[in-house]
Chain A
Amino acid sequence: MRANCWMGKNDVRVVDVPDPKILNPHDAIVRITSTAICGSDLHLYNGFIPTMEKGDILGHEFMGEVVEVGREVRKLKVGDRVVVPFPIACGKCLSCESHLFSVCENSNPNAWMAEKLWGYSPAGIFGYSHMLGGYAGGQAEYARVPYADVGPIKVPDGMSDEQALFLSDIFPTGYMGADNCNIKPGDTIAVWGCGPVGQFAIRSAFMLGAERVIAIDRFAYRLRMAEEAGAETLDYEEVDVHDALKEMTGGRGPDGCIDAVGMEAHGLGLAGAYDRAKQALSLETDRTFALRQAIMNCRNGGTVSVIGVYGGFIDKFPMGSVVNRSLTIKAGQAHVQHYMPILMERIQKGEIDPSFCVTHTMRLEDAPKGYDIFLNKQDECMKVVLKT
C-alpha cells in the first residue's frame, strides 16, 4: 500500500510499504477513506519528538471501513464505517476502567523507553514515535487497529467523513481542554492558540457554559475563525496580552486558561529568544512562551488546562505563581474514547458541525505538500484532510 513516512527532519514521503495484517486476535484492519494532518505531527516533522525512525508511517487522525477482523473481535464487523481514536487503549487495565484511556497501561510495547524520559509510560499512539509504541500511523491506505472493540466507533449513515473524522483527536482534545477548566456559568475562558485544537477548545468552552471566550494568536485568518464562534480575540503581536486580559476581565484575569499551542510556541522578546536558543542547543526540549503566559494571566484560584503537547523539560517555569495563587494545572493527551460517544451525540443533535475547520482537501499522495502549507500557515491553511 501507499503510506506517508517520516524520513527525517522536515522530510516526509509517500512510498510503498507492506500491507498491514492481523497480528493479535483483537485487531481489525481498516481501509482508510480520510485522514488528517495534526499540529502534533508538526512536532515530529520538525524533529522535536525523540525516537522517530526513518520509515515510520505518520498519522493518528483517520477513519474508514473495516475490511478484516481478528477472531476475538465482537462489536465490529467487516463493512462497518468507523472513526478511530488516536490513543491506543486496551479497555481492561485500571487506567482504562477509570476512563483515562490515553494512559492505558498495556498498549505501549516500548513502555521502557517512555519510562526513561517520563518515569512511567502512557498509552501507545498511532504513528507517534517508538517511545509511544512504534505503531504504523494512519496517513496510509490501510491501518491495523489493536483492541478494535475498545476504540473505534461506528459512523452513522448520512454523516460525512469531514463531520466524523475529528472525533479521532482534535474535537475530543479541545473539548477535554475546556472540560478540565471545570467551567461554571459566567466564567471567562482564555485560549492560547487558534489552530484546529484551539478552535475546538473555543467552541467546547461555549458548549460547557462559558460566558466569554478570549482567543489569542497572531494569524488574522485564525483569529477570524475564532470570532465566528463568538470569541473575542487578541493578536499577541499587536497588544500586550497581560494588560489586555486584565482590562477585559475587570482586573481579575480569566477563570480558565487553555494552552492549545504546545512545545513550539512562538515567543517574543528576550524570553522568546532565550527559549529558542536553549531548544536549539538541546538544553531545554520545549519552548514554553504560551504556557508561561497562561499561568501568569490566570485568575487567583483558576485553572490552567494544558492540551498543547510538551515532550521533555522546560525552563523558567513560574511555579511561584502556581503555588502562591492557588492555581490548578490539568493536562493530558485526550482520553478520546471517553469523549467520543458524548461528542458524536452533539454532532448528531446538530450542536456543532466539525467540518468547519477543513480548509484543504488533498490526495494522500500530496501529503508532503500538505505538511508544508500547514506548517507555514500558507494559503490560510487551518486543517488538511487527505483522501486515499
Chain B
Amino acid sequence: MAIQDSRQDSRIERNPEATARPAGPSTRDLARHRPQGPTGGEGLAKAIGWFSIGLGLAAVAAPRGMARTIGVPGGSDDRDVMLAVGLREIVSGLGVLSRDRPAGWMWARVGGDAMDLTLLAAAMASEHADRNRLAGALAAVAGITALDILCAQRLESEGIAAGAAEAAQSPRSRSRRAARREEDRPHRYAVQVRRVITINRPREEIYAFWRDLRNLPRFMSHLEAVETIDDRRSHWRATGPGGTSVAWDAEITEDRPNELLAWRSMPGADVDNAGWVRFEAAPGGRGTVVRVDLHYTPPAGRVGAMVAKLFGRSPDQEVQEDLRKLKQVMETGEVTKSDATFGRLRHPGQPPTRAEIEAHG
C-alpha cells in the first residue's frame, strides 16, 4: 500500500489527553485576535508594502545602478523608465501600507507587476541586455506577481469574512469589541510578534528546556547569553542593531509548569521587553503546540523598529526562524545547517572554509 495511506491509518486514533487543553487567558485572547503576520493577508501586504517602498527608493535614487543590476545597460531611456517604475513602486507601497484594507492597492500592484513583466520582456529582446540578469529579474518579478495576487486574494477574503462578522453584530457589541481590541494592544511596546510551531515532543520536555533560560541562546539567534541570577531573575545579553551589544535583567512574571511561562524586563533595560510562551498538547498526540508572544521596543524606539523592518528581516520572521530552531533542537538535537548557512550574505551551496565556519561561530 502507498505510504500516504498508512500515515492516515496510524494517526487516526485520538489521544484523550489532547482535548484537555489548558484554560487561561492565553486561549481566550487568541480568539480575539485577527490573523497577523505573513499567514494573514495583512501581514503579507505590509511586507510587500515596505518592500515596494524600498525598491522604489532604490530605483529613484540610483536609476542607472538599478537598471544595471537587473541587466539593462542603463542609458538615459532606461534611466527614465527606472524612475517611473520607482515612483510607481513608492506610491503603491504607501497605498498598501496606509490603508486599513489594502486589497484595492494590492490589485493595483498586480497591474504594476504586469507592466514590469512587459518592460522586462521587451528588454530581453534588446541586443545590449545581459540576458542572465534580466531573466533573474523576470523570475523575481513573476514571483512577486504571484505573491501580490495571493495577497490581494487573501485580503479580499479577509475583508469579506470580517465584514460579514461585523454585520452580524449589533453596533453596541461591535464598539465593545473594538474597545477590547484596543485594550489588548500594549501600546508600551513598538514591536509585537506572535508566532506558533508544533514540535514532536512532549510538553514537559519543551517546558523544561525553556524554563532553563540558559538554553534560549541555542535557538534565539540574537541572544548571546542568558545567566540566571536566582529562580525568577536572570541577566540577558543580546546583539542589537548594527552589531551593538545590549543587556538587561528580566524576571519571570508567571510560571505554570508545562503550560505557560511569562517574563518581562526590569526597569532600566536597554531593550524594554516582555514575552510569554504557552505549551499545549497537539490534537491526536502529535506533540506540542508552542505559541510565543514577544513585545519589545528596540533601542532606537519606534523609528528603530521601522528602520529594522525596512533593512533587516521582519521581527515576525526572526521569531519564526527561532521557533524553527527550537523545533530542530528538540526533535533532532542539533540546529540544521547547510553550506548556505555560512558567510555574511548568502553563501553558495559549496563547503564553507575553516575561516567562514569560525566567523559563523
Contact = CB atoms under 8 A, between A and B. Distances in A.
A163 B315 CA distance: 50
Interface string A336-358: 00100000000000000000000
Contact of B337 (A23, A94, A99): A23
A98 interface: yes
Contact of B350 (A24, A56, A182): A56
Interface string B24-68: 000000000000000000000000000000000000000000000
A264 to B, nearest CB: 15
Contacts of A124: 336, 338
B324 interface: yes
Contact of A136 (B2, B4, B132, B351): B351
A330 B336 contact: no
A90 B1 CA distance: 23
Contacts, number: 156
Interface stretch (B134-142, B165-173, B253-261): B134-142
A109 B337 contact: yes
A50 interface: yes
Helix, strand, loop or mixed for chain B's interface?
A: helix
Nearest to A178: B2
Interface residues of B, number: 50
Nearest to B341: A109
A316 B120 CA distance: 24
Helix, strand, loop or mixed for chain A's interface?
A: loop
A117 B149 CA distance: 12
A8 interface: yes
Given A9-B132, A18-B352, A100-B3, A24 B146 contact: no
Given A93-B200, A134-B349, A283-B117, A110 B333 contact: no
Contacts of B141: 282
13 contacts: A17-B350, A53-B340, A55-B348, A56-B350, A92-B332, A97-B200, A107-B336, A116-B143, A130-B349, A135-B340, A136-B339, A136-B350, A144-B351
Top 6 nearest A-B pairs by Cβ distance? A134-B340, A55-B348, A282-B142, A98-B7, A56-B349, A20-B351
Interface of A: 3, 5, 8-9, 17-21, 23-26, 47, 50, 53-57, 72, 90-94, 97-100, 105-112, 116-117, 124, 127, 130, 133-137, 144, 146-147, 176, 179-180, 182, 281-283, 285, 312-313, 330, 335, 338
Given A93-B331, A106-B327, 18 more contacts: A17-B350, A20-B339, A26-B332, A47-B135, A55-B349, A56-B348, A56-B349, A72-B333, A72-B334, A110-B340, A112-B317, A124-B336, A127-B349, A135-B338, A146-B337, A180-B4, A282-B138, A330-B4
